[in-house]
Structure formats: structure tokens, C-alpha cells
């Protein structure tokens, strides 16, 4: 069973590895139900989905009739105005077949223009706070991608006391001094405030080189179990209080969970550097700024 740890200040003990609901974006209900069995077998008790993850919320909804109490349930709104975010939240509750979610997150809030709208008057943050006051959500978080997201999260945490943040981190990204410094600054703030930190793109290899894609992730992932083990173990060892979100592909899910289940120690930097070289890991987000 994957160990559990406090998810920030929420009072919930979440599995160290969270289920990334993007993997269900185009899945059938039968595939989704088989996925539920996998999650329960590994002791995963935290689901992270989003309004914009295709059919994901619709596939998770049927699980809730019997398993709502078994999961911390998180979703996201990618809308920037309060009106649209409010509509997203109510639609997500309907699709998930629940009367509340545990966490609503402002999705991919990395562009300054989006930030200004979402955080400003009549912005998405107002809708999230309103939903919390109404009991539709319990906690509020913020997520994002790219080389600048750690810096943007610092700005977001200065604007509002979010309960969680989500951002990419892996050995390749940590090698960029500027990103690592920004990431560590956010990590320090989160530790001081007991804000949950979620990590994505742990097994990213790079952009797809061709249109012949073998997985449903938008990026090319690591595929060999040994490589996935190394990438997952590095994140879990480097960030012992953070949470690793599984990749958006159902075939990769058991491999990531197996890796997390077997975690004992962080691989050496030399071993990780050799893997980066042999697998030719590259940036998902263009050149670092």
C-alpha cells in the first residue's frame, strides 16, 4: 500500500501518489471502473481531475455512489471570470454526482493576463471563495505548468492563502538553477503555511517527436518500468512531504503506482543524470526563461 501523509492543512491523510484524472479524458466507463479497482488495490485515496479533462468527471461520477467516503475529491476550473467559474463548479458537481468537492483549483494560472482576471474583481477566485462559503467546496488551490509557474505561484500565494499548489518538477527541471530556486522559494512558503504541494510531469521525457503517439499524455513519457521507478523515486525522495500526481495515461498508471509502492530511497544524482542522457530528456515547455 502506498503510504499516506497529511495533505497540507486540510486534515486529510492522502496517499503520497494521487490519481491524475486526466487519464480518464477519453476512457470508457468499463476502463474507468477497472481503474478504480487499481486505485483501491494500491490504497490511492485522492483523485485530482478537472472540468477540462474531457469525460473524466463523468467517468468518476459513478464511483461516488459507493466510494465518496474513500476519496479526497479535487477538481479544477479553467475559467477566469467569477460567472464562468461558478458555472464550472456547479457543472462539475453534477458530473461528479456529489454535493461538494474537497478541493477546487484555479487551473493553469500561469499567464499574467489570466492571473489579473482570475484574481481581480469578479474573477474566478471570488467564485471559489463563494463556493467555499456555500459548502460546495472545502478548500481552494491553484495549479500551473511551465518554467514560470513557480514564480507565478509565489505571486498567487501573496495574493491569497491557497490550501494547495500544483506544479511540474523532475530531475531534468531541477537542473535549471533559476527554476529550482523559484520552486524552492514556493516550497519554503508552503512549508511555513502548511500548504499542500502537488507534483506533475515526474515521468516526462519530452515533447512528442512524431504524430505517432503511443500514450494519451500530451507529452512523451518515460515507458520502461526501471526509468519510471527512478523518476518517481527521485521525486518522492527529494520532496518527502509533497504529493506526486500520476500521468494522464491508464496504461502507465500501474507502472507509476508500482514504483511508488516500492519506494525506499532517492536515486543518486549520477544515476539520474545517466538516465537523462540515455533517454534524451528534453524540455516540455521550450527554452527556460
pTM of the model: 0.97
Say what the alpha-carbon torsion angle 8, 147, 239, 242 is, to the nearest 10 degrees. Answer: 20
Pick from 68, 25, 78: which is nearest to 47 by CA? 68
CA distance linking residue 85 with residue 146, whole number of Å: 23
User: Average of pLDDT values for 63-90?
Assistant: 98
Average pLDDT, integer, range 161-187: 98
**pLDDT (tens digit, 9 = 90+) per residue, 232-253?**
999 999 999 999 999 999 999 9
Looking at the chain, the whole-number percentage of residues with pLDDT higher than 70 is 100
What per-residue confidence (pLDDT) applies to 36?
98
- Does residue 211 have a pLDDT over 80? no
The mean pLDDT of the chain is 97
With cut-offs at 50, 70 and 90, classify the pLDDT of residue 4: very high
Whole-number pLDDT of residue 210? 75
Residue 209: what pLDDT? 86
Neighbour count for residue 219 (Cβ, 10 Å): 18
Is the pLDDT score of 25 beyond 90? yes
Max CA-CA distance within the chain?
52
CATH topology assigned to domain 4-279 = TIM Barrel (3.20.20)
* Distance (Å, whole) CA 239 – CA 187: 9
pLDDT over 80 (residue 106): yes
Summarize pLDDT for 188-207 with one digit per residue, the tens: 999 999 999 999 999 999 99
Quick one: average pLDDT of 152-178? Answer: 98
Amino acid at each position: 500500500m502506498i503510504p499516506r501523509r497529511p495533505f497540507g492543512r486540510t486534515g486529510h491523510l492522502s496517499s503520497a501518489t494521487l490519481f491524475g484524472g486526466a487519464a480518464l479524458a477519453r476512457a470508457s466507463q468499463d476502463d474507468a471502473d477497472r481503474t478504480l479497482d487499481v486505485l483501491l488495490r494500491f490504497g490511492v485515496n485522492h483523485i485530482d481531475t478537472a472540468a477540462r479533462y474531457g469525460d473524466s468527471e463523468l467517468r468518476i461520477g459513478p464511483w461516488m455512489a459507493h466510494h465518496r467516503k474513500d476519496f479526497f475529491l479535487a477538481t479544477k476550473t479553467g475559467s477566469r471570470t467569477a460567472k464562468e467559474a461558478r458555472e464550472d463548479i456547479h457543472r462539475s458537481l453534477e458530473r461528479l454526482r456529489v454535493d461538494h468537492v474537497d478541493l477546487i483549483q484555479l487551473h493553469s494560472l500561469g499567464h499574467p493576463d489570466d492571473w489579473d482576471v482570475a484574481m481581480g474583481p469578479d474573477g474566478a477566485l471570488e467564485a471559489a471563495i463563494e463556493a467555499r462559503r456555500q459548502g460546495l467546496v472545502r478548500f481552494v488551490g491553484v495549479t500551473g505548468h511551465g518554467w514560470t509557474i513557480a514564480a507565478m505561484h509565489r505571486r498567487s500565494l501573496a495574493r491569497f492563502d491557497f490550501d494547495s499548489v500544483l506544479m511540474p518538477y523532475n530531475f531534468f527541471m531541477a537542473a535549471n538553477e533559476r527554476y529550482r530556486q523559484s520552486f524552492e522559494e514556493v516550497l519554503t512558503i508552503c512549508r511555513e503555511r502548511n500548504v499542500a504541494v502537488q507534483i506533475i510531469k515526474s515521468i516526462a521525457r519530452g515533447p512528442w517527436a512524431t504524430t505517432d503517439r503511443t500514450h494519451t499524455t500530451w507529452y512523451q513519457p518515460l515507458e520502461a518500468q526501471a526509468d519510471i521507478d527512478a523518476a518517481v523515486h527521485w521525486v518522492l525522495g527529494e520532496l518527502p512531504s509533497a504529493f506526486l500526481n500520476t500521468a494522464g495515461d491508464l496504461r502507465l498508471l500501474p507502472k507509476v503506482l508500482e514504483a511508488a509502492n516500492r519506494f525506499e530511497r532517492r536515486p543518486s544524482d549520477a544515476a539520474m543524470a545517466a538516465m537523462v542522457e540515455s533517454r534524451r530528456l528534453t524540455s516540455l515547455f521550450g527554452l527556460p526563461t
